Every structure is written in C-alpha cells, then in structure tokens.
Amino acid sequence: MLARPAVAQEAAGEIRLDEIEVAAPRPASSSTAASAGYVGGISGIGGGLRPVDAASAGIISGAQINSRPVTRPGEVLEEVPGLIVTQHSGEGKANQFFLRGFNLDHGTDIALHVDGMPVNMRTHAHGQGYADLNFLIPELVGAVEFHKGPYFVRDGDFASAGSVRIDYLDKLDRNIALTTLGSFGYKRGLSAASVPLGAGNLLVAGEAQTYDGPWVVPDALRKLNGVARYSQGTATDGFAVTGMAYWAKWNATNQIPERAVAEGIIGRYGTLDPTDGGDTGRFSLSGRWSQSDAGGITRASAYVIRYQMNLWNNFTYFLNDPVNGDQFRQRDARVLGGGEISRVFQGDLFGLPMENEIGVQTRTDDIRVGLFKTTARQTRSTVLDDRVLEASAAFYYENRVRWTDWLRTSVGFRADGYYADVHSDTPANSGRARDSIVNPKLGAVFGPWADTEIYLNYGGGFHSNDARGVTATVDPASPLFNISRSPFLVPSTGYEVGIRNRSIAGLETSLALFRLDFASENLFQGDTGTTEPSRPTRRFGIEWSNHYAITPWLRLEGDLTITNARFSDRDPVGQRVPEAPTTIASAGVTFGEGQGWFGSLRFRYFGPRPLIEDNSVRSKPTALLNGRIGYAFDNGVSLALDVLNLTNAKADQITYYYESRLPGEAAAVAERHFHPVEPTAVRLTLAGRF
C-alpha cells in the first residue's frame, strides 16, 4: 500500500511537528499513529492483515506535506502523484482539481475528507461535489491517505477518480508559532499548542491570513481559522472531540478572454467585472471513538457541520444581458450531519488468516440554495431559491484472506441509497426522488518476489447529481421550456493492474495501468439552473511513481501520468473530452534534517488539453518551479524563504473555451479564456517551537 516512507520525518522548512508513525500497513502489534486514525481505515491500524490496496494507493506523512512550497493550502495535495490543484478565481473559492484524465471541476469525482468529515458538498450552489479545502491548516496534518479508482469499500460518492483522507494530529510535542510575510500583500500568522488536560490532551490552533495577489483589483482576502481538539487514548482505543471554525471573504479576478488582453482592454492581471468575489464560513463539531479486543476493533465517528457561501461571478460579461451584464450570485446555506460505524472481525478460514470488515455510513444535508441575477452584487431578480433535504446511507462489507505467503485477496461490495425532497420556488421543479446502487469491489496482490508485488483491482463506483436536476422539469428562468431530468446516481467502472518494486534500498517505484468508464447523464448546471446532456466516457492511462530516500536527509521524487480520455459513443462533433489532461508530471528534491540547512525544489508540468471535442482548440502547457531554502537553529527557531514560480513563467493556471461578449461587441465570440499564474513571489517565514 505504501507509496511514501511510513514514518514521518521532520519537515524540512516547516515547524517540526511530532514524529509520528502513520497508519501504514504493519503488524497489529506495532505502535499506533499520533494522528486521528481515520487514515488507513480500521484494518490499516487495527487489523492483523495488510489491506489489499492498489499500486496507485499510498499514505503520505504530514512532514512530507509540509516540505512543499505552495501558493495556497489545497496545493499540498499535489504530493499525491498525478493530482493537479489549481485556481481560476479568488483565493477563497474552492480549488479546481485534475486527475487521471478528469477535469474534476471543484470536486465532482474526487472525494475529500478531513478528520472523518466529508469536504464535498452535494446539491451545491456552484457545482456538484464542491470541495473547499481553504480551511485546511497544513501544519496540523498528521497523515494523508490517497486512493485512485473505485476499488475500495469505504469510498462512495465522488470517489470514482480518487479519494483523499486527511488526518490532523491529536497532539504536538511542543507548542509552535510562525509568521509569514510575502509579495503582493501576503501575511499569515499561526499559533498551535497542546497541553495535558485530565487523562487526555487538548490541542488548540489559530490562523489568520490576508492576501491581495498581483491582480489589478486586489483579492483582499481576509481569513480566520481555528481548531480545538480534546483526545484520550490512541487511534485504536480512545476518543476525541474536535471543533473547527473557518471564515473568509475575498474579491475575485476570474478567467478572462484572450482578445481582451490582445486588444489592450485589460492587462494580464485585469478583470472585466471588478465586483466579483465571495464569502464563506464553515463551523463543525466532530467526534470519534474506537475500541479493540481479542476479536478485532470497533470504531465510530460522527459530525455536524454548518456551512454557508456566497459567490458573485461573471464569466460571460454581456452575453445574456447586454445592458446589465451577466453577473450572478450563488448562495448556499446548509447544516449537514452524519457518521460511520465499522467493525473488523479477525479470524481464520480453514487455518488461513482472514478478516471481515463491515461498516455503515450516513449523511443528511438540510440545504437552502439559490441563484440570482445581479449587477455589482446587487440582486436584480431570482432565478431559483430552493430548499432541499438530501439523505443517504451506505453499507459495506469486505472479506480479506491471505491464501499463501504470496497471495492476498479482498472481495467486497458497497450498497448506497439516496433520498431527496426538493421544494423549489418554481413549483413544477419540486418533488421527491430515490435511487440506490450496489457496487462490487475486488482486489488481489501477488508477491512479494524479489521485493516486487503485483496488484489487480476492479470495482464499481458512482457520483450523485444535484437533487434539483433530478426533480426539475422546466427551465426556472423560462418555465415554458421543458428540460430533461438528471439521473440521481451515475455509475462508473474501473480496472487497474499495477506493480510496485522496492529492490533498491530507499527507492520505491510503482507502475499502474488503469481504465475508467462513466455512463452518460444529464448534468445540472449550477451557473444556469438547468440540465445539459453529457456523453459516456472511457479513460485509459498509465501512472509511474518514484520516491527515493537516498539518505536520511535527501529525498527525490518523480511522477508521470499519461491518459487517453475519449467519449465512448460516436458523434460528428468529435471524440475528445474537453479539458481532459493528457500528461501530468512532477519532480522534486527535498533535503535537510532536524537542524541546519534545509530546502526543497518542486517542478510541476500540466500538459496541453483539448478544449473542444474535435481537438481543434487546445490549451497551452503549464510548467512551474517552486523552491524553498532555510535554516533551523538548535533553539527551535527556523527561518525559511519560499520562492514561488521561480522562472516567472507567463503560463495559465487554467484555460477554458466558450462564448462571451465584451462591451461594444455586436455578437458572442467563442475563444479561449484563461486565468494566469501569479508572477514570481517570495514568502519569508519565521517559526518557533517551544
């Protein structure tokens, strides 16, 4: 399973948090993790058998996450091989993700979890699966587990392309504080401390950040973030209660048309609507409990989250309304709650080591969601203003057997049921919907032979659609026009064969071949409130991942993903899947130990992509280089300098192709719209550990 070293080393260039052993596969008698324990699942930390995973799966330590120089919090997930994390708007908006030939938008087919809580929002105002990770505090991360493909019983909605589970630490060995100053008005402060309290530990952390960016209209990001956790015991025998609070507001410079820059209407960092932006808040309370015994381990977790968001965007300028402009507001306010309870039963099958794992997951969202036409953030009219109650429950089961010293198998399934009750301000679009899906999950591992293992994986997955599209029958802006309903749950099927080798000391290399098929569907468009047809797709690809710990103080990494994404039906418009990345590559070097010099250099390549089905319009590639150099003193103080976009590349973070209309234009113009990479920026961090 392991795609990174299992023991977290001190992060070069970051606050040196606890040395922890993450929940990598290991014998049941080994020590437990200092992080919360959601990573690795029950079997990963309490079972006697190594889980049957995939060549493309792995666990990353918090120290490795924090060794990366990054522009924004979500980018730390680019430590996951083949994952691109970018931004096309203001800093408070959710990132956009690319993985395995998918433009995942803000999270449609990558499931993100933090401390057992889902980050993806279903039936969201801006887009299905919207996953805002801006509340993440990287310095608190203990471990990150990633899966790719729909092969794993714990992974349900949004996990067809992959899933990422992030654990925070339960405690720090010493208190920490840091301050960062940087280019374009970047300021950040963080303080975190843990102290014994009763029979357990209390961890408290607070973060504040401001940032303007290089934009003509400053982002003016204002962000406050806090975490408080009380824990007792370990990840296998103990409990914890955690509260989180996050708030942010910002202005947004969205993607702009190439012609506006070429004609000198605006500059590269300009905007055509200076009133775009947003605000958001997330407040959560969660808890976990676990207990092990001679027969296995039982774990339970629960959470409740209060979330709100307002977005003002204008992507087409004066296309639909030449007088007032096309700006719109998307409002989302919800309370969601849910949990999971699981049990691993250890036993044997005719004398062969065996485990059975069962689990139940639930989630309920009470949502107020709206779309409004606006000008300069002032509401002109309501397109839709709906109330949605959406609930789901899942049951999963997996049997794991070690047949011989060189063969392990897993056979399981996952059953999901969904219910939605939509109350729309357009009565014809109100209604109730139900759907269910059952997916098999199969895996086998052969080896090791000569420090080499071979993996076979197969599984079914799905993503849910916006419940409003499932019940809608008319266009809310023009109720005389009928629209087609969306399916509630859309199935996917994945296949993977891979190999992992550790024959060279310190070097782990893995190679995976994968295929993922998705059914056709009608997708609900949060920007318009209507549905649009989507064709069935098929993706073939290869991933190559390498991680080489040359010495305790020097580590090299290199990853390459090549994907062929095509529509699997036939249509004269073409077979290419728009915005599907073909090539993603990364490389990095990290050096340093607990004291003295440390540093990191990271290269990321985001290859060109077709922007329309016939491949006649393509995006340009983006190649970025980020670096860090610093010194850690023996008194716990460290000083680090990050240089972002070292080569000052004039590249695009993201590129789209669609119609828009500028002031004075007589008709719509279809062309590329881009959001530029920020120019070279420096950030200096002074950190102390005491």
Higher pLDDT pick, 424 / 523 = 424
Report the predicted TM-score, pTM, of the whole model to 2 decimal places.
0.93
pLDDT bracket for residue 554 (50, 70, 90) = very high
- Confidence tier at 24 by pLDDT (50, 70, 90): very low
pLDDT tens track for 465-515: 999 999 999 988 888 888 889 999 999 999 999 999 999 999 999 999 999
Contact yes or no for 526/367 (Cβ under 8 A): no
Residues 86-144 have pLDDT tens digits of 999 999 999 999 999 999 999 999 999 999 999 999 999 999 999 999 999 999 999 99
Q: How far apart are CA 133 and CA 154, in angstroms?
A: 21
pLDDT digits (tens, 9 = 90+) for 204-232: 999 999 999 999 999 999 999 999 999 99
Q: Is the separation of the CB atoms in 319 and 659 below 8 Å?
A: yes
Q: Which helix (H) or strand (E) holds 95?
A: none
Structure confidence at residue 50 (pLDDT): 58
Which two structure tokens, joined as six digits, stand for 448?
């090791």
Radius of gyration of the chain (CA): 24
CA distances from 76 to 156, 356, 533, 566 (A): 23, 34, 34, 29
pLDDT at residue 49, rounded to an integer: 53
- pLDDT for residue 672 is more than 50: yes
Question: For residue 251, what pLDDT is reported?
Answer: 98
Domain residue spans in the chain? Answer: 41-689
Q: How far apart are CA 540 and CA 462, in angstroms?
A: 18
Residue-wise DSSP of 621-666: PEEEEEEEEEEE-TTSEEEEEEEESTT----EEEEEEEEEB-TT-S
**Which CATH number fits the domain 41-689, given the four candidates 3.40.640.10, 3.40.50.1950, 2.40.170.20, 2.40.30.10?**
2.40.170.20
Which tens digits make up the pLDDT trace of 401-459?
999 999 999 999 999 999 999 999 999 999 999 999 999 999 999 999 999 999 999 99
Query: Taking CA 515 as the corner, what is the angle to CA 510 and CA 516, rounded to the nearest 5 degrees?
Result: 125
pLDDT, residue 51, reads 64
The DSSP bridge partners found for residue 335 are: 306, 366
CA distances from 478 to 24, 139, 331 (A): 54, 49, 20
pLDDT band (50, 70, 90) for residue 522: low
The whole-number average pLDDT for the span 314-328 is 96
**Cβ proximity of 271 and 257 under 8 Å:** no
Task: Give the pairing of strands 141-148 and 238-251.
Answer: unpaired
| d(C-alpha 605, C-alpha 559), whole Å | 10
Contact yes or no for 545/559 (Cβ under 8 A): yes
